[in-house]
Structure 1
Amino acid sequence: MSIDHIDVSDRLRRVMLGGRLDIVGTEEIALQFAALTASGKHRVVVDLSAVSYLASIGIRAIVANARAMQARGTRLVLFVGNNELVAQTLEVTGIDGVIPMLRDLALADEAALA
Structure 2
Amino acid sequence: MLDLDKEVVDAEFEELGVDATYTPAVGDPVDCKILLSSDDDTALEFGGRSRPIGRNTVLRVRASEVSPANGQTFTLTNGGQVYRIAAEPALEDTARLVWRFKAVAV
TM-score (norm 2): 0.25
Structure whose alpha-carbon radius of gyration is higher: 2
The structure in which a higher percent of residues are helix is 1
TM-score w.r.t. structure 1 length? 0.24
Higher strand share: 2
